Structure 1
Amino acid sequence: MMSKSDLWTIRPACVRDMDVLADIYLRVRRITFLWVDPGDFHAADFVIHTQGERIFVCEDRNGVIAGFLTLWEPDDFIHMLYILPEFQGFGAGKALLAALPEWPNRRYRLKCLVKNTRAIAFYRTLGFKIIGDGSSPEGDYKDMRLSGG
């Protein structure tokens, strides 16, 4: 499955993407989650944290990977959505979400760290509602669900 817009191409991840995706995961966590010791994040985390997940890649017109989304399909759970800072604010995250099966009619869920206020605002503008609270080693989070189209 491939999805194209004027700016973005969304496609399934392949083996040759894994090092780039692991780097994005590491870099974005280190610059976003400033309240966590950057030494707690490791390059090997990506492979471990995405085990069994479906991975979508977002590329710009030049084939540069801007970010990715991972989905735990059994629960319609969006586990990760990471966009490099230089590509944030240009629709890459929305393009990744729009490429999900039956978007926006399926009731996708995600967890978003409370301190990541920018991400919470982003998800709310797309129709996600806060349905609960929790805590993780990185901090407290909001459990959010797409209200469905």
Structure 2
Amino acid sequence: MECFNLLIRSFTENDRLNLQTLYLQVRLSAWPWLDSSAWKPEDFDSTTQDEQIWVAEENGELLGFASVFVADNFLHSLYVAQKHQGKRVGLELLKKVQAEFTASGTLKCLVKNENALEFYLRHDWKIESTGDSVDGEYYLMRYAG
């Protein structure tokens, strides 16, 4: 089922607590191979600091968000609440981010995050290289639009 009254808008401070919770819940479900014992909702704050945050909302419920380091056209985070995955929320957030890019956009996707990788490949992102991070091997991906 698709979301029909979906609104993509800029983050406001009123969103913070809900997005902190969403961020933690999605990380826990998407990255089960990582040690999550030190993760906390407030990690959202440091992860998105100094980034443009776009929020997906429907009928007052926050369904997901994307955060972008604007200066580098770098999509740092795209998270959708588990119960809303597969309902075009992620795609609408991705479209908004891509529309805001001023040049070719990039992102890093953990190799083990197969669902996210398939999502980006399906939407015209290409693997450019690989790298290693504290969370494991990742693909550097590029969207030329």
Please report the TM-score for the alignment, with normalisation by the length of structure 2.
0.92
Match of 1:71 in 2: 68
Q: Distance in 2 between matches of 1:126 and 1:104?
A: 15
Q: Which residue type is aligned with residue 136 of structure 1? A: S
Q: Per-residue deviation at 1:45?
A: 0.8
Please give the root-mean-square deviation of Cα atoms over the aligned residues, in Å.
1.7
Deviations, residues 80-111 of structure 1 (Å, cap 9, x unaligned): 00001100000001111112363688421100
The alignment status of 1:125 with 2:127, answered yes or no, reads: no
Q: Per-residue deviation at 1:125?
A: 0.8
Which of the numbers 20, 39, 42 marks the counterpart of 2:40? 42
Size of the alignment, in residue pairs? 143
Match of 1:55 in 2: 53
Match of 2:139 in 1: 142
Name the CA shift for 1:122/1:104 in 2 (closer, same or farther; >3 Å).
farther
Where does the alignment leave 5 or more consecutive residues of structure 1 unmatched? none
Q: Which residue type is aligned with residue 42 of structure 1? A: K
Match of 1:96 in 2: 93
Task: Report SS of the residue matched to 2:97.
Answer: coil
Match of 1:6 in 2: 4
Match of 1:33 in 2: 31
Match of 1:20 in 2: 18
Q: Per-residue deviation at 1:147?
A: 2.8
Task: Report SS of the residue matched to 2:132.
Answer: strand
Tell whether the 8 Å contact from 1:97 to 1:103 is kept in structure 2 after alignment. no
Q: Per-residue deviation at 1:6?
A: 2.9
Please report the TM-score for the alignment, with normalisation by the length of structure 1.
0.90
Task: Report SS of the residue matched to 2:87.
Answer: coil
Bigger shift: residues 36-45 or 137-146: 36-45
Q: Per-residue deviation at 1:76?
A: 0.2
The alignment status of 1:108 with 2:105, answered yes or no, reads: yes
Task: Report SS of the residue matched to 1:16.
Answer: helix
Q: Distance in 1 between matches of 2:56 and 2:132?
A: 29
Where does the alignment leave 5 or more consecutive residues of structure 2 unmatched? none
